[in-house]
Amino acid sequence: DAKTTQPNSMESNEEEPVHLPCNHSTISGTDYIHWYRQLPSQGPEYVIHGLTSNVNNRMASLAIAEDRKSSTLILHRATLRDAAVYYCILRDVSVGGGADGLTFGKGTHLIIQP
């Protein structure tokens, strides 16, 4: 799976929107963009994924750049429970790809101030 680059940490205030960036300049046409988060003492939790179009679900929104070389995870109204490490991961789903495990980087440590 191709590599992603994320800031080590970000800080935001409670009840404000949070935009978490991810760069993936070597993304291929068959790479889906996945986001997971990991709260302290828990396993990673799936947040959202997309291929080309922006995506929304109950947890977050995913904005994908037109050239697909970057994406942004948007938490519309952060709460203290959103404090976690957020991982941006590319997942190749071509024939023969997508079968192996996820490749996690160090992610972005999101700090939420009350």
Partner 1 sequence: DTGVSQDPRHKITKRGQNVTFRCDPISEHNRLYWYRQTLGQGPEFLTYFQNEAQLEKSRLLSDRFSAERPKGSFSTLEIQRTEQGDSAMYLCASSSRRGEEPQHFGDGTRLSIL
25's CB contacts (< 8 A; 6+ apart) are 69, 70
Report the nearest approach of partner 1 to the CB of residue 23 (Å). 16
Residue 7: other Cβ atoms inside 10 A: 14
Under 8 Å between Cβ of 58 and 46: no
The least CB distance from residue 56 to partner 1, in Å, is 16
- Secondary structure letter of residue 5 according to DSSP: B
What is the distance between the alpha carbons of residues 62 and 52, in angstroms, rounded to a whole number? 10
Pick between residue 24 and residue 91 the one whose CB is nearest to partner 1. 91
Instruction: Give the type of residue at 69.
Output: K
Q: What is the nearest approach in angstroms of partner 1 to the Cβ of residue 38?
A: 8
List interacting residues with partner 1 (CB under 8 A): 32, 34, 36, 41-46, 49, 51, 85, 87, 91, 93, 97-107
- Which residue's CB is nearer to partner 1, number 8 or number 114? 8
Residue 36 or 70: which CB sits closer to partner 1? Answer: 36
